[in-house]
């Protein structure tokens, strides 16, 4: 049996493969410490939960408008004004089933077969496959550790061809924790405007920035660039609401209505109850954000300190999100043997760490970044301590 070329062409997720292996080992009774999951370990704040319960009790359990309830669209507008000074109309907002769904809608609305989508790498696992599903062509632009994994305006300019349609930008960044600096973002915006290229701006980690870092939305850099930005965000990471599946996009009306048309035929509306709860998340009491960010910050400094004490690991302090991204190039091709083979790739190293150290991490290759590992520190401090001790012993 053959499946469609569309499906045959997409890669299974390496992160899901690791998760499956972790579950199998746990079922065998092994006590695995996992740094795999990209989601907050906190419960959804009580004020948000209460609104969902009210919605159920009040019978708000039917279909809504496919592109989302006006109340939530207005909350998104208020939030974007409050946080970025951005002004949008209701017709420029769509509510979808998570930021992931918004990204796919945007790519489907913008890309024709053969269009090029510029993708700075390392990058989040789903971008490449979503671009391919939209029949567009991902064009990788490698960024480097020395430049804090930021795309430079020069690199962007060099990568533009007659077929370039979109730049997919993610800041704060998964997996590297990079947060773009305002100067670079301004230069990038200028080049996008000059070349009439759209920017899909994935800002899902916007609330998770540390030290002096600040999140700046590229859409807020002037009306010329705002007209070309599809700003994507959601409640998953900022409000510990990964399972609720609410994301939103803001952008030019024509594009947003194209996204709505597509969504109307694929999924209809996002969950009605979760939409009500998300109104509270976005414009209700915001105290929980500060608490969660504070906890992530403590874990961030602790895990990076530990990682730099492990032989063969080198890790810069990330400025955003909740991932550590250590460089492990010294451990590859260096005589470590596992299953009768010398370890040459981050995937092999990940398997070695899981089997010998009982610690789950994600290989850099899953993010188009060989020579690195990703560890999520959205896990408890005792788990971090135990996991790091295991790695120290393993590489002693
Ligand atoms: C960079 C990035 N964008 C989007 C998403 C998807 O978020 P959501 O849960 O809102 O679909 C994730 C989740 O891991 C992510 O890391």
pLDDT digits (tens, 9 = 90+) for 204-244: 999 999 999 999 999 999 999 999 999 999 999 999 999 99
pLDDT over 90 at 149, yes or no: yes
Atom 1 of ligand 1: nearest residue by CA position: 174
Q: How many CB atoms lie within 10 A of CB 216?
A: 19
The alpha carbon of 324 is separated from its chain's Cα centroid by a whole number of angstroms, namely 14
Q: How many CB atoms lie within 10 A of CB 79?
A: 18
**Residue 276 · residue 55 · CB < 8 Å:** yes
**Residue 185 · residue 151 · CB < 8 Å:** no
Task: Give 209's contacts (C-beta < 8 A, 6+ positions apart).
Answer: 172, 179, 215, 293, 319, 320
- Cα gap 235→35, rounded to integer Å: 22
Two structure tokens written together for 319: 């400025």
Which pLDDT score, from 0 to 100, does residue 371 have?
A: 97
Q: Separation of 391 CA from ligand 1 center, angstroms?
A: 28
In ligand 1, the atom with minimum distance to the C-alpha of 234 is 10
Which pLDDT score, from 0 to 100, does residue 18 have?
A: 80
**Helix/strand/coil (H/E/C) assignment for every residue in 347-378:** HHHHHHHHHHHCEECEEHHHHCCCCEEEEECC
Render pLDDT for 42-60 as a digit per residue (tens, 0 to 9): 999 999 999 999 999 999 9
Q: Which residues line ligand 1 (CB under 6 A)?
A: 38, 98-100, 124, 170, 174, 202, 204, 234, 236, 242, 247
Average pLDDT rounded to a whole number, residues 13-31: 86
**Nearest-5° Cα angle at 349, 348 to 354:** 100
**Residue 316 · residue 150 · CB < 8 Å:** no
């Amino acid at each position: 049996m053959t499946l469609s070329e569309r499906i045959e062409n997409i890669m299974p997720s390496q992160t899901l493969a690791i998760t499956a292996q972790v579950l199998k080992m746990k079922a065998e009774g092994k006590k695995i410490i996992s740094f795999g999951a990209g989601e907050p370990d906190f419960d959804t704040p009580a004020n948000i939960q209460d609104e969902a319960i009210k919605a159920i009790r009040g019978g708000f359990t039917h279909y809504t408008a496919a592109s989302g309830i006006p109340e939530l669209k207005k909350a998104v507008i208020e939030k974007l004004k409050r946080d970025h000074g951005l002004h949008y109309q209701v017709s420029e907002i769509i509510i979808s089933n998570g930021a992931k769904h918004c990204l796919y809608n945007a790519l489907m609305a913008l890309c024709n077969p053969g269009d090029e989508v510029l993708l700075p790498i390392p990058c989040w696992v789903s971008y490449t496959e979503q671009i391919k599903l939209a029949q567009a062509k991902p064009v990788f632009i490698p960024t480097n550790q020395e430049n804090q994994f930021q795309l430079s305006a020069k690199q962007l300019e060099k990568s533009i061809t007659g077929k370039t349609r979109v730049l997919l930008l993610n800041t704060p960044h998964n997996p590297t924790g990079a947060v773009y600096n305002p100067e670079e973002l301004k230069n990038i915006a200028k080049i996008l405007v000059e070349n009439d290229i759209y920017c899909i701006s994935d800002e899902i980690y916007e609330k998770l920035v540390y030290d002096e870092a600040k999140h700046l939305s590229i859409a807020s850099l002037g009306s010329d660039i705002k007209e070309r930005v599809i700003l994507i965000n959601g409640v998953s990471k900022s409000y510990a609401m990964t399972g609720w599946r609410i994301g939103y996009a803001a952008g030019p009306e024509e594009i947003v209505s194209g996204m709505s048309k597509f969504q109307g035929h694929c999924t209809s509306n996002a969950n009605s109850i979760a939409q009500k709860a998300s109104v509270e998340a976005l414009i209700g009491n915001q105290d929980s954000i500060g608490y969660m960010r504070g906890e992530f910050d403590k874990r961030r400094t602790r895990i990076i300190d530990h990682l730099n004490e492990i032989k063969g690991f080198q890790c810069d302090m990330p400025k955003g999100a909740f991932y550590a991204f250590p460089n492990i190039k010294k451990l590859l091709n260096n005589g470590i043997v596992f299953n009768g083979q010398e370890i040459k790739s981050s995937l092999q190293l990940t398997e070695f760490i899981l089997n010998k150290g009982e610690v789950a991490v994600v290989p850099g290759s899953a993010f188009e970044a060989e020579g690195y590992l990703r560890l999520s520190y959205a896990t408890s401090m005792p788990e971090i301590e135990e996991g790091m001790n295991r790695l120290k012993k393993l590489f002693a």
